Every structure is written in structure tokens, then in C-alpha cells.
Structure 1
Amino acid sequence: MPTNDRVAEITPEVVAWRKHIHANPELGFAEHETAAFVAAKLSEFGLAVHTDVSQTAVVATLTKGSGKRAIALRAELDALPIEEATDVDYASRNKGVMHACGHDGHTAILLGTAQLLAESGDFDGTVVFIFQPAEEVVGGGKKMIEDGLLKRFPVEKVFAIHNWPGFPKDQIGVLTGPQMAAVDDFEIRFHGSGCHAAMPHLGDDPVLAAASFVTAIQRVVSRSIDPLSAAVLSVTQIHGGRFNNFVPTEATVEGTCRFYDPALSDHCAAEIGRVAQAVAAMHGVAADLNYKRGYPPVVNPVAGAELATLAGRDTVGIERVSTDFPPSMGCEDFAFLLRGVGDGAYAWIGVGDVGPGEGLHGDRFVFDDDIVPVGMRYFLNVVHRALPRVR
């Protein structure tokens, strides 16, 4: 596969772009300065740039040769609502907002890839560069599809990367099948009359119902889901009451479900609702369920995973590409793009072991710039594999 000697030359500049983006983080659907920076660079490289696709998204296209085939490469623009605790000289200038997941690095890598392909890209067809807003929680990928991204820029495959702490340094990981989990969230509101704490027989107790629910809901995974089908149900919040001497009229329980099998979304919704109603009836209160379906699982199709694996081998060698490792129970809204397009792949680039608070979403997370050239070379090899020029 062809390599681009310019990768090493432009890496320092690409790292400088990343540090600029890192120092000026913005939350989902508010990435105005980040999007403007990205659009300006893409225009400078000579790409056709579109900022009217969806919210703060930036989409650019580059065509070489006469082929009609097209693929997409995607990166994320948004940061997280986290107060940065690193000591880097380019730390966040925006209080309470931080690039704690590496989206600054992914964006810079994709910008560098665009520059290299514009300069000397030896491929036949069109590459669509997608810089999407609001990957974290809000679902910017879904919004882009709803706003017509794939109708306006039809592609046959879509690819993305993510830096991955805990995965061997500079190793590329691609699974065929699920690589990231689906996520649904739930909120149960137990409500009744409450009562004075000294006279519990005169009312009911939503707090006791909530506590019973937290225990009872554990049976959903342990007793209603096939043990060979991975699933996690975690209660993460309990709220209720303001005074020490009064049982409140309401208590809420919130949590999340993670799984790889999309059918478990309906199953978890039904089971959580059933358990909530049974617990409420036992305690003489009412229960309302708000079940929020989130991101689907990231499932790499066979063809896309094979191409990504070959591109990875072109990049780091066959011995440093892993196709057999445990998938993550984390989620990623790249799932919407991958499902919408129908083919492509999501890949990890390992950065090795990190300390407490230095992993993804940690307040001491620092992106490993050593993987910047690895990411660019990988994307270049994806393009050359997917859109080869006929000799």
C-alpha cells in the first residue's frame, strides 16, 4: 500500500492544531469556534466545505479520478462538561469544559488526513470528511442523519477511530461484530402521600419503595437475560426528601442499561417497568417509568471490518493489529452512522496503560500525540484500500 512521506513532516503542525482545539473546548451543538477552525483549514486545503448540513457540523468532500464510489471518514468536535485538572500548557481556557475523550486529537488527525489526500491522494472516487457535533450523550450523529446527511452525501462505507487507553500502545483493534455497546437510560419516579417520620403508619414511603427497587432490579440481568448475552444494568442516582423528620412524597431512581443485542432494549424496558410496578404495589405507592432509548451498539460488518483490518496491517504491521479482544460496554454514537450507511468499521488505536483519572472522561486525561501519525496513516490506508486507482 502507498505511504505518504508527508505524514511525518506535517505531524508537528497537526499536533499544534490539536492543542489549539484542546485549549478552546466547546460542548455539543455549541462547537462554533471549533467548527469555524475546521472549516477554515479544509477550505485552505482546497476541499468543498459545507457548514449547512446539521447544527455545528462540518462536512467536506474531495474527489480524485473519475470513479463514482464514495466513502466517509468521521471525527467528533465536542468536549465534555469536566473541569480540567492537567498541568499542560495548553489546558482548557473554558471553565468546566474539557476535551477529556480525545475528540481534539481525532479532529486534528482527520484534518491532517484531508490535507495529505488533497495534496497527493492517489485514489479514485470521493472521500467525505464528517466532523460531527455532539457525540457525547446528545447524539449528534443521529441528528445529522435526520437532517439528511446520507441523502446529500451518499457513501458506501464509513470509518472512524478512537484513541483507547488500556489497549496496547500503537496497536490497532478492529472487531467483526459488536465493538461498543448500546445504551439506554431509565428514570423511575415513586410517588405517594409521604408522612411524618414519627408516624409512618399514617402514610406511605416512596423512599422504601425506591430502595426495594434498587435491590429487585438486579434480577433483570441475573435472571431474565441469557448469561451468554452480555448486559449491564446499573443504578446510578437516587433522589428523595429534604427533611430529616418527614418521609417525602416522591423518590426517583435513575440508571443505565448496556448491551450488544439490540433486542435487549425492548426486554429491559419491559422488565424494568414490570419490576417497578410490582415494587410500587407492594409498598402502596405509584410508579412512573421514563425509559430513554439511547445509542445502538457499534457493530462492525464483516466487509468493513476486513478492510479496516487490512488498512491497520498496512499501517502498523500484521503483528500489531488485533481482531480478537473483549469489546467495550462503553457506547459511541458512531453507531448511528455505521447503521445508516450499512458498512464500514470503528477501530481503536491503543495508547497503553494510564493512571487513575487519566483515562477517557477523566479530568487528568491527556491525549497521546504519538498516535497522531498512526491515525493519519491508518485513514490514508483505508482510503487507498476502499478506493484504489485502477492501474
Structure 2
Amino acid sequence: MARMTIQDKLALLSDAAKYDASCASSGTSKRGSRDGKGLGSTTGSGICHAYAPDGRCISLLKILMTNYCVFDCAYCVNRASSNVPRARFTVDEVVWLTTEFYRRNYIEGLFLSSGIIKSSDYTMEQMVLIAETLRAQGFRGYVHLKTIPDAAPDLIERAGLAADRLSINIELPTDASIKAYAPEKDARSIRAAMGKVRLTGEDYADRSHTGRRRGRFAPAGQSTQMIVGADGSDDATILGNADRLYGAYGLKRVYYSAFSPIPDASAVLPLVDPPLMREHRLYQADWLLRFYGFELSEIVTRDRAGMLDLDVDPKLAWALANRDRFPVDVNRAPKDLLLRVPGFGTKIVDRIVAARRSGSLGLEDIRRMGGRVKQARPFIVTKDHHPAAKLDAADLRARFVKPQQMELF
């Protein structure tokens, strides 16, 4: 068998990394240095696109250190029993690739994950060495490391000091599913690792008696991923687990990844079409929970058996089910009610609240601010618009149902 070139490894291990969705940057600023020197930035163009929470599109070198793995998780293409080509980068190879891609302005940072080789500690140490070597060589760009839950606490601490973000993937929504499909993993140890990252971050954020902090530990926080559709969990279960993770461990993001049959798939997994619209609705519902003041019970109702409405976005679905709460007067309503209007995002609501201090607003004013007037129109009152009985129209829902279209707030 011919020896693999670094280009061969890159092709194989970048493709193997595509199944991990938890790789968006936080939009963190460039790491500073006293002399003003250093390699890398967090703005520019690149080869693998991800999105920051502020909506910025950034570029990352997204690879696995290796796709060899001693675990046999049924949903993973790189599981031990999978018949796929294998490769492994050395520490120096990943450092060289990242540096060279940066010099050519191809990327803005590195997302590094890995299969488990030898042991959790050995794998984590190799990944930490990559990040530490990059920093020692003056790399100031974004680094996101996947954390191995069973790795020693000192390795997790070193990882957080070298990386901007850490992620620990829970993978499946329930402990029972993890036990069934990933028997070598333990849900409790995954949550314990998340807790350790949070506590260590808080410890480093605390100021000493001199007013100084100990250092920068994963300043962009931590994230996780849940696979959607690989088990029988409904949307209420998925979102409920996400809500608990946000509260207990201070996660910056939960990413939802639509399951699709993988090459050499395990027979225990369902044969399904990728539930892409379901993934999209979960992201929208997640946004409502975190930024719009919605409760889980408002978003996923019992009459839909714990599932989100796939035909309309979850905010619109709530508005249609609660027509007695509308129309909302944009010139008088408090901010929390405006946030519930379909077609109004958080930025639009802030603009409305600020602008109405100078005078009454009309539909065209809302449109200029960026509001989606067509969607909001039946649910609002402005100085030049009164929807009258339109909310009682039997066909109101049908006006918004557009198959194959992904609506945004």
C-alpha cells in the first residue's frame, strides 16, 4: 500500500469531519500580543464556511486529527467496525497545514476533532499539543477543539487555555439512546466534562485581589451537537435537553445535525431521508427559547405530539394558535410583545422601540427598518394600517405555507 501524502490525508480527514456541525465561531476578536505581531485574524475569506452567532460568515480549516477510533458508535462513519479508509495526521502536519492556509488567507481558524486512538488522554494530549504549538508559533486566529469527555482535567484545562472554544458533543438527546447507540460513551461523564469546562472558565474569569484575571480560558465558551432523527426522540425531548444544557452548563450553542444514512451504515439505525426541515425548525425554536422569551411549552404543544410544525416557522405557528393576542400596536406595545410578532427579529424590535420615540410609525417605516412586513401585516397595527378582521380569516395559515421554503424570523 502506497504511503499517503499530506494532500491525501487532508482530502480524507476533511471529508470525515463534515458530520460534525458544532463548528461555528463565536465572532471572538483577534488574540492580542504586546508587540503587535502574530499570525492570523478572525475576518477574511476561506474554504469551509461556518456562521458566528452575529450572522457573520467565517472560514475554518475543519478536519479530524484521525478517523481511526476505538469506539463503535452506531451513528458514526468512523466507528471501529466501519469499513472506511483510515488516515492520521501528525501534530506537525496539522500545524503546518493551518499555518500555510493562514498565510494564503484561505481560512480564519481551525476546527479540530478526532476519533479516539489508544485512549481518551492520549488523543486529547495530541490535540492540545497542536493548539499549543500553533500559539507558541504566534498563531492568533480562532481555534475550536473538540474535547474528549473522559480526558484528564489538566488536559481539558490546557485545551481551554490554547483554544477559543471547546465543544463536547452529547450526540443523542437521551441517556437511553446514548447507551443503545454509543455503548462506550456515558452521558453522565459527558455532562460532568461540560460542568468542568464551565467551572474552570468561571475560575479563570474571576479577578484576583489585584484586579487581574488568571488567563483566557475558552473565551468563546463551549458548544455541543445533537443528532436529529437517529433515534425516536421527539422535538420536545430534543429542545428540552438543549434548554437544560444551556441552563446547567452555560453553553453558547447547541447545534442540531439532521441524521442521514452514512456509508457502511450500521443495521441498527433507521433508513430515513435527512430531516433537513426538522433541523431548521429546531434551530428556529432554539432561537425563540434563548432570545425571544418563549417557554418550551409554548413552542411544542401536546396537540402535535411533541413535534414542531414543519410547514411554518415556530413563531408564526404560535401566533396562529394565539390569535387572541393580536394585533399588536407597534407604537405602544412593550418590547416583549413585539418580539412575538412574526417577521420581527430582535434587531428590528430594538429599532422600532427607539424610532417610535420620535413619532408614530407606519408600515413603510417598519419595512425600511428591515421588518418582514408581508408576514407581520396581519398581526400588527400601525398609524396607517389596521388589520380589522383578517386574523379571523380561515385561510390565514394557508397564506404562509410555502413548501420547500425555509422561513427566517
TM-score (norm 2): 0.23
Q: Which has the higher contact order (CA 8 A, sep 6+)?
A: 1
* More strand by percentage: 1
TM-score (norm 1): 0.24
